[in-house]
Amino acid sequence: MTQTIDAVAAARPSHWRVVGAVSAAHFVSHFYILLLAPLIPFVREAYGVSYTEIGIAFAAFNVVSAVLQTPAGFLVDRLGARTLLIAGLLLGALAFAVAGLVHSFAVLVAMFGLAGVGNTVYHPADYALLSQHVRGERIGQAFSVHTFAGMLGSAVTPASVLLMQSLWGWRGAFLGAAVFGLFVALVLIAVRDPAPTAPPRKTARSGGRPDWHVLLSAPILLNLFFFVLLAMLSGGIYNYSVVAFGALYGTPVSIANAALTGNLLLTAIGVLIGGVLASRTRRHGLVAASGLAAATAFMLLLAEVDLPTAALIAAMSLAGFFSGIIMPSRDMIVREVTPPGSFGKVFGFVTTGFNIGGIVAPLVFGAIMDHGSPRLVFLVVAGCTLVATATVASRPRRRG
Protein backbone atom coordinates (compact mmCIF):
# COMPACT_ATOMS: atom_id res chain seq x y z
CA MET A 1 0.00 0.00 0.00
CA THR A 2 2.82 2.39 0.90
CA GLN A 3 4.57 1.62 -2.39
CA THR A 4 1.36 2.41 -4.28
CA ILE A 5 1.01 5.78 -2.53
CA ASP A 6 4.64 6.61 -3.23
CA ALA A 7 4.20 5.69 -6.89
CA VAL A 8 1.15 7.92 -7.23
CA ALA A 9 2.95 10.80 -5.53
CA ALA A 10 5.93 10.35 -7.83
CA ALA A 11 3.65 10.37 -10.89
CA ARG A 12 2.21 13.76 -10.06
CA PRO A 13 3.72 16.61 -12.06
CA SER A 14 6.48 18.02 -9.85
CA HIS A 15 5.84 21.55 -11.03
CA TRP A 16 2.46 21.62 -9.27
CA ARG A 17 4.27 21.27 -5.94
CA VAL A 18 6.12 24.45 -6.81
CA VAL A 19 2.89 26.14 -7.92
CA GLY A 20 1.24 25.21 -4.62
CA ALA A 21 4.13 26.43 -2.48
CA VAL A 22 4.54 29.67 -4.45
CA SER A 23 0.79 30.32 -4.33
CA ALA A 24 0.84 29.81 -0.56
CA ALA A 25 3.56 32.46 -0.34
CA HIS A 26 1.43 34.81 -2.46
CA PHE A 27 -1.49 34.17 -0.10
CA VAL A 28 0.75 35.23 2.82
CA SER A 29 1.89 38.38 1.01
CA HIS A 30 -1.69 39.60 0.57
CA PHE A 31 -2.52 38.58 4.15
CA TYR A 32 0.36 40.73 5.41
CA ILE A 33 -0.61 43.71 3.22
CA LEU A 34 -4.06 43.89 4.86
CA LEU A 35 -3.01 42.78 8.35
CA LEU A 36 -3.08 46.21 10.01
CA ALA A 37 -6.33 47.55 8.54
CA PRO A 38 -8.78 45.52 10.71
CA LEU A 39 -6.65 46.22 13.80
CA ILE A 40 -6.49 50.01 13.46
CA PRO A 41 -9.02 50.74 16.27
CA PHE A 42 -7.14 48.52 18.72
CA VAL A 43 -3.69 49.85 17.80
CA ARG A 44 -4.91 53.46 18.07
CA GLU A 45 -6.34 52.81 21.52
CA ALA A 46 -3.20 51.03 22.72
CA TYR A 47 -0.82 53.78 21.63
CA GLY A 48 -3.09 56.85 21.67
CA VAL A 49 -2.17 57.82 18.10
CA SER A 50 -4.13 59.47 15.30
CA TYR A 51 -5.22 57.99 11.98
CA THR A 52 -2.52 60.06 10.30
CA GLU A 53 0.13 58.50 12.53
CA ILE A 54 -1.24 55.04 11.75
CA GLY A 55 -0.91 56.00 8.11
CA ILE A 56 2.86 56.32 8.62
CA ALA A 57 3.03 52.55 9.09
CA PHE A 58 1.18 51.98 5.81
CA ALA A 59 3.43 54.51 4.08
CA ALA A 60 6.58 52.86 5.44
CA PHE A 61 5.49 49.48 4.07
CA ASN A 62 4.49 50.76 0.63
CA VAL A 63 7.34 53.20 0.04
CA VAL A 64 9.97 50.63 0.99
CA SER A 65 8.27 48.07 -1.26
CA ALA A 66 8.13 50.47 -4.19
CA VAL A 67 11.78 51.55 -3.87
CA LEU A 68 13.34 48.14 -3.28
CA GLN A 69 11.24 45.76 -5.39
CA THR A 70 13.26 46.21 -8.57
CA PRO A 71 16.61 45.71 -6.79
CA ALA A 72 15.05 42.62 -5.21
CA GLY A 73 14.30 41.37 -8.72
CA PHE A 74 18.00 41.65 -9.61
CA LEU A 75 18.87 39.67 -6.48
CA VAL A 76 16.32 37.01 -7.43
CA ASP A 77 18.04 36.52 -10.80
CA ARG A 78 21.48 36.50 -9.18
CA LEU A 79 20.95 34.51 -5.96
CA GLY A 80 17.95 32.33 -6.80
CA ALA A 81 14.20 32.87 -6.51
CA ARG A 82 13.52 30.15 -3.93
CA THR A 83 16.19 31.42 -1.54
CA LEU A 84 14.94 35.00 -1.73
CA LEU A 85 11.29 33.97 -1.34
CA ILE A 86 12.07 32.02 1.83
CA ALA A 87 14.08 34.97 3.14
CA GLY A 88 11.18 37.35 2.43
CA LEU A 89 8.72 35.14 4.31
CA LEU A 90 11.06 34.86 7.30
CA LEU A 91 11.71 38.61 7.31
CA GLY A 92 7.98 39.39 7.28
CA ALA A 93 7.34 36.87 10.06
CA LEU A 94 10.12 38.40 12.15
CA ALA A 95 8.81 41.93 11.61
CA PHE A 96 5.28 41.14 12.73
CA ALA A 97 6.49 39.05 15.67
CA VAL A 98 8.54 42.01 16.94
CA ALA A 99 5.62 44.39 16.30
CA GLY A 100 3.43 42.17 18.46
CA LEU A 101 5.95 41.70 21.28
CA VAL A 102 7.45 45.18 21.70
CA HIS A 103 5.27 47.91 23.21
CA SER A 104 6.39 50.86 21.08
CA PHE A 105 4.60 52.62 18.24
CA ALA A 106 7.94 53.70 16.75
CA VAL A 107 9.03 50.05 16.67
CA LEU A 108 5.72 49.09 15.04
CA VAL A 109 6.29 51.63 12.25
CA ALA A 110 9.88 50.42 11.83
CA MET A 111 8.69 46.81 11.64
CA PHE A 112 6.22 47.70 8.90
CA GLY A 113 9.15 49.17 7.00
CA LEU A 114 11.04 45.91 7.55
CA ALA A 115 7.97 43.94 6.41
CA GLY A 116 8.03 46.12 3.29
CA VAL A 117 11.55 44.84 2.61
CA GLY A 118 10.25 41.28 2.88
CA ASN A 119 7.33 42.17 0.60
CA THR A 120 9.69 43.17 -2.22
CA VAL A 121 10.63 39.57 -3.06
CA TYR A 122 7.18 38.06 -3.64
CA HIS A 123 6.39 39.18 -7.18
CA PRO A 124 9.87 38.78 -8.71
CA ALA A 125 10.54 35.47 -6.95
CA ASP A 126 7.07 34.01 -7.55
CA TYR A 127 7.00 34.76 -11.26
CA ALA A 128 10.61 33.65 -11.72
CA LEU A 129 9.91 30.28 -10.05
CA LEU A 130 6.74 29.72 -12.06
CA SER A 131 8.40 30.70 -15.34
CA GLN A 132 11.36 28.42 -14.67
CA HIS A 133 9.49 25.32 -13.51
CA VAL A 134 6.14 25.22 -15.33
CA ARG A 135 5.82 24.08 -18.92
CA GLY A 136 4.72 26.65 -21.47
CA GLU A 137 1.34 25.02 -22.11
CA ARG A 138 0.53 25.12 -18.37
CA ILE A 139 2.02 28.47 -17.38
CA GLY A 140 -1.23 30.41 -17.92
CA GLN A 141 -3.05 28.17 -15.46
CA ALA A 142 -0.16 28.40 -13.01
CA PHE A 143 -0.32 32.20 -13.16
CA SER A 144 -4.08 32.12 -12.56
CA VAL A 145 -3.74 29.84 -9.50
CA HIS A 146 -1.02 32.15 -8.17
CA THR A 147 -3.17 35.27 -8.64
CA PHE A 148 -6.25 33.54 -7.20
CA ALA A 149 -4.30 32.58 -4.08
CA GLY A 150 -3.32 36.20 -3.50
CA MET A 151 -6.90 37.39 -3.91
CA LEU A 152 -8.08 34.66 -1.54
CA GLY A 153 -5.54 35.91 0.99
CA SER A 154 -7.00 39.41 0.75
CA ALA A 155 -10.54 38.07 1.09
CA VAL A 156 -9.96 36.05 4.27
CA THR A 157 -7.67 38.50 6.08
CA PRO A 158 -10.25 40.77 7.80
CA ALA A 159 -12.28 37.93 9.32
CA SER A 160 -9.19 35.88 10.24
CA VAL A 161 -7.40 38.80 11.87
CA LEU A 162 -10.46 39.84 13.86
CA LEU A 163 -10.95 36.24 15.01
CA MET A 164 -7.36 36.12 16.28
CA GLN A 165 -7.86 39.51 17.93
CA SER A 166 -10.96 38.28 19.75
CA LEU A 167 -9.03 35.25 21.04
CA TRP A 168 -5.60 36.68 21.82
CA GLY A 169 -5.80 40.48 21.43
CA TRP A 170 -4.31 42.53 18.64
CA ARG A 171 -0.76 41.62 19.62
CA GLY A 172 -1.73 37.96 19.43
CA ALA A 173 -3.08 38.61 15.93
CA PHE A 174 0.34 39.91 14.87
CA LEU A 175 2.02 36.87 16.41
CA GLY A 176 -0.46 34.53 14.73
CA ALA A 177 0.32 36.14 11.36
CA ALA A 178 4.04 35.71 12.06
CA VAL A 179 3.59 31.99 12.80
CA PHE A 180 1.62 31.62 9.56
CA GLY A 181 4.43 33.16 7.52
CA LEU A 182 7.00 30.98 9.28
CA PHE A 183 4.95 27.86 8.50
CA VAL A 184 4.79 28.68 4.77
CA ALA A 185 8.54 29.38 4.76
CA LEU A 186 9.10 25.91 6.22
CA VAL A 187 6.86 24.43 3.51
CA LEU A 188 8.99 26.11 0.85
CA ILE A 189 12.14 24.77 2.48
CA ALA A 190 10.65 21.27 2.46
CA VAL A 191 9.47 21.36 -1.17
CA ARG A 192 12.29 20.18 -3.37
CA ASP A 193 13.03 22.43 -6.32
CA PRO A 194 12.37 20.37 -9.49
CA ALA A 195 14.56 20.77 -12.52
CA PRO A 196 13.69 23.78 -14.70
CA THR A 197 11.56 23.03 -17.78
CA ALA A 198 14.36 24.35 -19.96
CA PRO A 199 18.07 24.95 -19.27
CA PRO A 200 18.79 28.56 -18.33
CA ARG A 201 20.24 30.68 -21.07
CA LYS A 202 22.39 33.73 -20.71
CA THR A 203 20.78 37.01 -21.62
CA ALA A 204 22.42 38.71 -24.56
CA ARG A 205 23.83 42.13 -23.79
CA SER A 206 24.08 44.43 -26.76
CA GLY A 207 27.31 46.42 -26.71
CA GLY A 208 28.11 45.36 -23.16
CA ARG A 209 25.09 47.19 -21.77
CA PRO A 210 24.29 46.36 -18.12
CA ASP A 211 21.42 44.11 -17.05
CA TRP A 212 19.16 47.00 -16.09
CA HIS A 213 19.10 48.23 -19.70
CA VAL A 214 16.38 45.70 -20.50
CA LEU A 215 14.06 47.50 -18.06
CA LEU A 216 14.22 50.64 -20.18
CA SER A 217 13.02 48.94 -23.36
CA ALA A 218 9.67 50.05 -24.76
CA PRO A 219 7.77 46.78 -24.08
CA ILE A 220 8.85 46.69 -20.43
CA LEU A 221 8.11 50.37 -19.78
CA LEU A 222 4.71 49.99 -21.41
CA ASN A 223 3.97 47.04 -19.13
CA LEU A 224 4.96 49.14 -16.11
CA PHE A 225 2.46 51.79 -17.21
CA PHE A 226 -0.15 49.07 -17.77
CA PHE A 227 0.27 47.83 -14.19
CA VAL A 228 -0.06 51.38 -12.83
CA LEU A 229 -3.37 51.73 -14.68
CA LEU A 230 -4.63 48.41 -13.30
CA ALA A 231 -3.70 49.50 -9.78
CA MET A 232 -5.62 52.74 -10.30
CA LEU A 233 -8.63 50.73 -11.46
CA SER A 234 -8.66 48.45 -8.42
CA GLY A 235 -7.84 51.30 -6.03
CA GLY A 236 -10.85 53.27 -7.22
CA ILE A 237 -13.30 50.38 -7.08
CA TYR A 238 -12.13 48.61 -3.94
CA ASN A 239 -11.63 51.69 -1.76
CA TYR A 240 -14.11 54.27 -3.04
CA SER A 241 -17.03 52.56 -4.80
CA VAL A 242 -19.07 52.15 -1.59
CA VAL A 243 -18.86 55.83 -0.62
CA ALA A 244 -19.26 56.92 -4.24
CA PHE A 245 -22.48 54.93 -4.67
CA GLY A 246 -23.84 56.44 -1.48
CA ALA A 247 -23.00 60.01 -2.49
CA LEU A 248 -24.13 59.62 -6.10
CA TYR A 249 -27.32 57.57 -5.80
CA GLY A 250 -28.00 57.36 -2.08
CA THR A 251 -27.22 53.63 -2.17
CA PRO A 252 -27.32 52.09 1.32
CA VAL A 253 -23.95 50.93 2.62
CA SER A 254 -25.18 47.34 2.91
CA ILE A 255 -26.15 47.22 -0.77
CA ALA A 256 -22.99 48.97 -1.94
CA ASN A 257 -20.89 46.52 0.10
CA ALA A 258 -22.83 43.60 -1.41
CA ALA A 259 -21.99 44.96 -4.86
CA LEU A 260 -18.31 45.26 -3.92
CA THR A 261 -18.33 41.72 -2.53
CA GLY A 262 -19.81 40.50 -5.80
CA ASN A 263 -17.08 42.33 -7.66
CA LEU A 264 -14.33 40.69 -5.58
CA LEU A 265 -15.88 37.23 -5.81
CA LEU A 266 -16.40 37.34 -9.56
CA THR A 267 -12.89 38.75 -10.04
CA ALA A 268 -11.51 35.63 -8.37
CA ILE A 269 -13.66 33.37 -10.56
CA GLY A 270 -12.62 35.35 -13.62
CA VAL A 271 -8.96 34.78 -12.76
CA LEU A 272 -9.42 31.00 -12.84
CA ILE A 273 -11.30 31.14 -16.16
CA GLY A 274 -8.69 33.53 -17.50
CA GLY A 275 -6.03 30.94 -16.67
CA VAL A 276 -7.76 28.40 -18.90
CA LEU A 277 -7.97 30.97 -21.72
CA ALA A 278 -4.31 31.90 -21.31
CA SER A 279 -3.36 28.25 -21.66
CA ARG A 280 -5.40 27.77 -24.84
CA THR A 281 -4.42 30.84 -26.83
CA ARG A 282 -1.32 32.84 -27.63
CA ARG A 283 -3.37 35.98 -28.32
CA HIS A 284 -3.02 37.30 -24.78
CA GLY A 285 -3.27 40.90 -25.90
CA LEU A 286 -6.66 40.24 -27.46
CA VAL A 287 -7.93 38.54 -24.27
CA ALA A 288 -6.71 41.44 -22.11
CA ALA A 289 -8.08 44.13 -24.43
CA SER A 290 -11.48 42.42 -24.68
CA GLY A 291 -11.79 42.01 -20.91
CA LEU A 292 -10.78 45.62 -20.27
CA ALA A 293 -13.19 46.93 -22.90
CA ALA A 294 -16.06 45.04 -21.24
CA ALA A 295 -15.04 46.36 -17.80
CA THR A 296 -14.97 49.90 -19.24
CA ALA A 297 -18.54 49.52 -20.48
CA PHE A 298 -19.78 48.44 -17.06
CA MET A 299 -17.97 51.33 -15.34
CA LEU A 300 -19.65 53.81 -17.69
CA LEU A 301 -23.01 52.18 -16.98
CA LEU A 302 -22.45 52.51 -13.23
CA ALA A 303 -21.44 56.14 -13.63
CA GLU A 304 -24.51 57.16 -15.61
CA VAL A 305 -27.43 54.98 -14.47
CA ASP A 306 -29.01 54.60 -11.03
CA LEU A 307 -29.55 50.85 -11.23
CA PRO A 308 -31.94 48.78 -9.12
CA THR A 309 -30.28 46.70 -6.41
CA ALA A 310 -30.08 43.42 -8.34
CA ALA A 311 -28.81 45.14 -11.49
CA LEU A 312 -26.24 47.13 -9.50
CA ILE A 313 -24.81 44.00 -7.91
CA ALA A 314 -24.84 42.21 -11.28
CA ALA A 315 -23.06 45.08 -13.06
CA MET A 316 -20.37 45.34 -10.39
CA SER A 317 -19.93 41.58 -10.38
CA LEU A 318 -19.56 41.38 -14.16
CA ALA A 319 -17.09 44.26 -14.12
CA GLY A 320 -15.05 42.22 -11.63
CA PHE A 321 -15.38 39.08 -13.75
CA PHE A 322 -13.94 40.74 -16.84
CA SER A 323 -11.21 42.40 -14.77
CA GLY A 324 -10.28 38.97 -13.40
CA ILE A 325 -10.18 37.28 -16.80
CA ILE A 326 -7.35 39.55 -17.97
CA MET A 327 -4.96 38.83 -15.09
CA PRO A 328 -3.34 35.59 -16.33
CA SER A 329 -3.02 37.10 -19.83
CA ARG A 330 -1.53 40.22 -18.20
CA ASP A 331 1.20 38.05 -16.69
CA MET A 332 1.73 36.16 -19.96
CA ILE A 333 2.18 39.47 -21.80
CA VAL A 334 5.03 40.36 -19.44
CA ARG A 335 6.53 36.88 -19.73
CA GLU A 336 6.60 36.91 -23.52
CA VAL A 337 8.68 40.12 -23.65
CA THR A 338 11.08 39.05 -20.89
CA PRO A 339 14.53 37.80 -21.93
CA PRO A 340 15.60 34.43 -20.47
CA GLY A 341 17.30 34.83 -17.11
CA SER A 342 15.59 38.16 -16.41
CA PHE A 343 12.24 37.07 -14.96
CA GLY A 344 13.06 38.33 -11.48
CA LYS A 345 14.18 41.82 -12.44
CA VAL A 346 11.47 42.34 -15.08
CA PHE A 347 8.54 41.15 -12.96
CA GLY A 348 9.98 43.03 -9.99
CA PHE A 349 10.12 46.19 -12.08
CA VAL A 350 6.73 46.05 -13.80
CA THR A 351 4.85 45.01 -10.65
CA THR A 352 6.24 48.13 -8.99
CA GLY A 353 3.38 49.67 -10.96
CA PHE A 354 1.06 48.24 -8.32
CA ASN A 355 2.89 50.24 -5.65
CA ILE A 356 2.94 53.40 -7.76
CA GLY A 357 -0.77 53.10 -8.50
CA GLY A 358 -1.42 52.30 -4.84
CA ILE A 359 0.24 55.55 -3.82
CA VAL A 360 -1.42 57.69 -6.51
CA ALA A 361 -4.95 56.25 -6.39
CA PRO A 362 -5.86 57.40 -2.84
CA LEU A 363 -4.69 60.92 -3.66
CA VAL A 364 -6.71 61.08 -6.89
CA PHE A 365 -9.92 59.44 -5.72
CA GLY A 366 -9.78 61.04 -2.28
CA ALA A 367 -9.58 64.47 -3.90
CA ILE A 368 -12.49 63.57 -6.20
CA MET A 369 -14.69 62.65 -3.23
CA ASP A 370 -13.56 65.70 -1.22
CA HIS A 371 -14.68 67.91 -4.13
CA GLY A 372 -18.11 66.26 -4.21
CA SER A 373 -17.81 64.52 -7.59
CA PRO A 374 -18.64 60.83 -6.91
CA ARG A 375 -19.62 60.19 -10.55
CA LEU A 376 -16.06 61.05 -11.50
CA VAL A 377 -14.79 58.07 -9.49
CA PHE A 378 -16.37 55.68 -11.98
CA LEU A 379 -15.48 57.86 -14.97
CA VAL A 380 -11.81 57.99 -13.97
CA VAL A 381 -11.80 54.21 -13.44
CA ALA A 382 -13.40 53.83 -16.88
CA GLY A 383 -10.75 56.13 -18.30
CA CYS A 384 -7.97 54.03 -16.77
CA THR A 385 -9.43 50.83 -18.22
CA LEU A 386 -9.86 52.49 -21.61
CA VAL A 387 -6.23 53.67 -21.69
CA ALA A 388 -5.12 50.24 -20.47
CA THR A 389 -7.07 48.68 -23.35
CA ALA A 390 -5.29 50.90 -25.87
CA THR A 391 -1.95 50.20 -24.17
CA VAL A 392 -2.22 46.43 -24.36
CA ALA A 393 -3.74 46.46 -27.86
CA SER A 394 -0.91 48.53 -29.32
CA ARG A 395 2.01 47.17 -27.31
CA PRO A 396 5.35 46.77 -29.09
CA ARG A 397 7.09 43.42 -28.97
CA ARG A 398 10.65 42.73 -27.99
CA ARG A 399 12.71 41.34 -30.88
CA GLY A 400 15.17 38.54 -30.56
Q: What DSSP letter does each residue of 91-135 carry, written as one string?
A: HHHHHHHHHHHS--HHHHHHHHHHHHHHHTTHHHHHHHHHHHHS-
What is the Cα–Cα distance from 193 to 182, expressed in whole angstroms? Answer: 19
2-16 mean pLDDT = 45
What is the Cα–Cα distance from 281 to 171, expressed in whole angstroms? Answer: 48
Given pLDDT bands bounded at 50, 70 and 90, which one contains residue 241?
A: confident
pTM: 0.80
Q: Give me the pLDDT at residue 400, please.
A: 40
Q: Where in the chain is the domain with CATH 1.20.1250.20?
A: 14-190, 214-393
**Pick from 327, 245, 231: which is nearest to 278 by CA?**
327
SS3 196: coil
Given pLDDT bands bounded at 50, 70 and 90, which one contains residue 242?
A: confident
193-216 mean pLDDT = 55
Given pLDDT bands bounded at 50, 70 and 90, which one contains residue 268?
A: confident
CA atoms within 13 A on the CB side of 364: 21
Q: Is the pLDDT of residue 112 over 90?
A: yes
For 214-393, give the CATH class: mainly alpha
Q: What percent of the chain has pLDDT over 70?
A: 90
175-199 mean pLDDT = 82
Q: Is the pLDDT of residue 239 over 50?
A: yes
302-329 mean pLDDT = 94
Options 1.20.1250.20, 1.10.760.10, 1.10.260.40, 2.60.120.260; CATH for 14-190 is 1.20.1250.20
**Each residue's pLDDT tens digit, 88-103:** 999 999 999 999 999 9
Q: Give me the pLDDT at residue 15, please.
A: 72
Higher pLDDT, 214 or 290: 290
Q: Is the pLDDT of residue 365 over 80?
A: yes
Are 64 and 92 in contact by the 8 Å Cβ rule? The answer is no
Q: Give me the pLDDT at residue 396, please.
A: 56
